[in-house]
Structure 1
Amino acid sequence: MDAFGHVNHANTVTLLEEARIELLFTEAARHGVKEMAEGMVVAKLFVDYLSPIVFTGEDIVVEMSVRDLKSASFTLDYLVRGNREANSPVVTKAETLMVPYNVTTARPRRLTDAERDFLAGWRAGGNGA
């Protein structure tokens, strides 16, 4: 919380990170795509704070989808809602440009076919969000 009783901006970015890890590491591994957990970095982050997130004890909802799926990068779009109620207003929009990364060589790498297939299922209108 910040001095005004809102979720601090750094904590909002942490919420995005936690949602991203759940998708790219946990959910991907559940689908047999374990390569993402071996190296994926954020190359760019954009956050648009539409209204404050006020802590109420309710769950914060982070909806995600994939955009701009390329051979060596993709963009994750986020919509953050203050609670689980139907049609709850979006309080934050964000995007991260993600780059697959080889930690051994310390160099970017291309997405594998399995990674691309998994991510394609999370394009807007797919099973994501």
Structure 2
Amino acid sequence: LLFVLLSVHKLLQGITLGSDPDVESIKRNLIPILIHKVFSAFALGSSFVASGMLERKRIFVGLVSAYVLFDFLGLGVGMLVGKALPNTSSVAQGILQAMLGGSFFFVAIGELIPGEMEKMRLLKLPATPLLVSLGLGF
């Protein structure tokens, strides 16, 4: 499930970046996006290791390859959208950024936070630090 969620998130990220007609905006956003990708790849890799996926090497390589290709697919689709709708690119860009943000929240709320809450329950850790950090993050 995390693979699917992060792949959709990467696809939307690529579409958003690819549809941006402003080269300076792309340059400003590229480094934060690349740093973000490191953390999402780490989360997915950790999930694969925890699930024993490394023992099934062909499936592992196939999923990782597909995960990488979603970036290029998203960039290509975004470039096509930017060329096809040049007059509405700012509206399309806003819609794509909203979808990207929503997919990020969906990944966090649907996959990551419940897993961490379950670990906290099993280890009998207090939830207050997590709630405070979530509150400060928003």
Bucket of the pairwise TM-score, normalised by the shorter protein: under 0.3
Return the structure number with greater strand share: 1
TM-score, structure 2 as length reference: 0.26
Q: Which has the higher contact order (CA 8 A, sep 6+)?
A: 2
Q: Write 1 or 2 for the structure with the bigger share of helix.
A: 2
TM-score by length of 1: 0.28
